[in-house]
Amino acid sequence: MDNLLRIETNNGINSLNFFGELTLYTITQYDKTLTTHSFEQENKKFVFDLNGLSFLDTAGALFLEEKITHYKSLGFMCTIDTDKEQFLQTLALVQKWSNREESFPKPVQPSFLERVGELFVSYYVGFMGFMSFFGQLVFTKMHYLKSLKNIRYKEIAFEINEGSIKALGIISLTSFLIGLVVAYQSAYQLKIYGANIFIVDMLGLSILRELAPLMTAIVIAGRSGSAFTAQIGAMKITQELDAMRTMGFDPYIFLVMPRIIALMLMMPILIFIADIMGLLGGMIIASIDLNITIDLFLDRFREVIAAKHFFIGLVKGPFFAFLIASIAIYRGLQVKDDTQSIGFNTTKSVVESIFAVIVCDAVFSIIFTNLGI
């Protein structure tokens, strides 16, 4: 029998006679007939006659339940007419679950001590993970440097070019602008007291000892450190690290050590370039704003700035480089199997590297001050 809905009106009763099958695949046909038919308001009763149906599934029963609820909300009386026990059971089941009120337990907010405990555990697990990575790194480095045959010169040269030489432009520009700004801001105060020449002392000490190493490290952390994290994280997602281990290649030797060694070798050179550019920026402002010629600037610089300040800045370089590369690579190895994790760990890599560099610089300052250097 074809699927058919016949609507009859007798004695104020709207009789909806269903024929055929009322299933998920025929609901649309029945619904179209109901929505296009206009019922008179004075006929206050609906009878859903299911005796002509040959099959009724739960989707059809939900359709009937929805229509009955809709018509009742409009003020009509609705009844179901069928002598098939199976249909009645299906309708009863659907009605039972439709009227069921789900009571979900309210989420319990953790107490202050629980939150502190969770935070402590997460930091403890992270710290122990980093210490495990650091131990493996030291062990690999000792084995790596045991023989010159173990050193992978080609990879180191590639990382020197990618992570350091290509960063010369941004480091030079940043240092030049820092020297420019520091000299310009200081010139106004020095002119008030007629101490123009002391701008050389201030620039020499601040740039050589602190600003050049610190700004270089921050730029490298944001540029090369984030690149290390993203590269190794992407390799972990694509399972290249697992493939390397399967083929017998140690990722620490092929990926980690070349990056760390390359950055440690190049950081003093980058700091040296930053020193030159920072002093150049200060020299330009001193010449323009304070009428200190280049010859006078250089003569004063040789008189008051000892060579130890220059070497102190260079000594910090390898330590900063080791911290930046280690943290960046560790964060790359912490990436999970999703792209969002790459962004999350790259952000943490940059933030943690900059924080570690600042702490390391503060430790150096305390040590050098106490030693009288």
* pLDDT band (50, 70, 90) for residue 16: confident
Side-by-side strand order, sheet with 13-22: 4-10, 13-22, 45-56, 77-81
What CATH number corresponds to the domain at position 38?
3.30.750.24
**Does the residue 23 lie in any domain?**
yes
Instruction: State mean pLDDT over 155-177.
Output: 91
Distance, in Å, from the CA atom of 111 to the CA atom of 136, rounded to the nearest integer, reads: 38
Instruction: State mean pLDDT over 224-241.
Output: 90
| CA nearest neighbour of 267 among 215, 329, 216, 209 | 216
Q: Which amino acid appears at position 365 of this protein?
A: S
Instruction: Using the 3D structure, point to which of 75, 98, 121 is the last residue of a domain.
Output: 98
Name the 3-class secondary structure at 361: helix
**Residue whose token pair is 């009227």:** 99
Domain match, 332 and 213 both: yes
Domain match, 190 and 335 both: yes
Q: What's the confidence (pLDDT) of residue 316?
A: 94
Count of domains observed in the chain: 2
**Does the residue 127 lie in any domain?**
no
* pLDDT band (50, 70, 90) for residue 163: confident
Which has more confidence, 220 or 40? Answer: 220
Q: Which residues have a Cβ under 8 Å from the Cβ of 27 and sit 6 or more positions away? A: 59, 60, 63
Q: What's the confidence (pLDDT) of residue 317?
A: 93
Q: What's the confidence (pLDDT) of residue 144?
A: 72
**Does the residue 129 lie in any domain?**
no
**Domain containing 225: what range?**
146-371
**Does the residue 119 lie in any domain?**
no
Domain match, 78 and 172 both: no
pLDDT digits (tens, 9 = 90+) for 324-359: 999 999 998 888 877 788 888 999 999 999 999 999
pLDDT at residue 181 tops 80: yes
pLDDT digits (tens, 9 = 90+) for 297-317: 899 999 988 889 999 999 999
Q: What's the confidence (pLDDT) of residue 41?
A: 62
Residue 184 φ/ψ region, left for φ over 0, alpha for ψ in the -120 to 50 degree band, beta for the rest: alpha
pLDDT at residue 157 tops 80: yes
HSE of 319, CA atoms in CB hemisphere, 13 A: 16
Instruction: Using the 3D structure, point to which of 98, 125, 158 is the last residue of a domain.
Output: 98
Domain match, 309 and 160 both: yes
Name the 3-class secondary structure at 10: strand
User: Considering the entire predicted model, what is its pTM?
Assistant: 0.68
**Does the residue 37 lie in any domain?**
yes
**Does the residue 113 lie in any domain?**
no
**Does the residue 242 lie in any domain?**
yes
DSSP 247: T
Domain match, 161 and 89 both: no
Distance, in Å, from the CA atom of 73 to the CA atom of 58, rounded to the nearest integer, reads: 22
Domain match, 18 and 74 both: yes
Domain match, 19 and 151 both: no
* pLDDT band (50, 70, 90) for residue 242: confident
**Does the residue 209 lie in any domain?**
yes
Domain match, 204 and 351 both: yes
Alpha helices in the chain (DSSP H): 27-36, 58-73, 85-98, 112-144, 153-163, 168-193, 199-205, 212-220, 226-237, 240-246, 251, 257-289, 294-304, 307-333, 339-371
**1-15, 18-32, 318-332: the lowest-pLDDT one:** 1-15
Q: What's the confidence (pLDDT) of residue 127?
A: 83
**97-106, 128-137, 160-169, 272-281: the lowest-pLDDT one:** 97-106
Domain match, 88 and 195 both: no
Instruction: Using the 3D structure, point to which of 72, 98, 124 is the last residue of a domain.
Output: 98
pLDDT at residue 108 tops 90: no
Q: Which amino acid appears at position 42 of this protein?
A: E
**Residue whose token pair is 């993970």:** 129
Q: List phi, psi (to 5°) of 57.
A: -105, 180
Q: What's the confidence (pLDDT) of residue 10?
A: 77
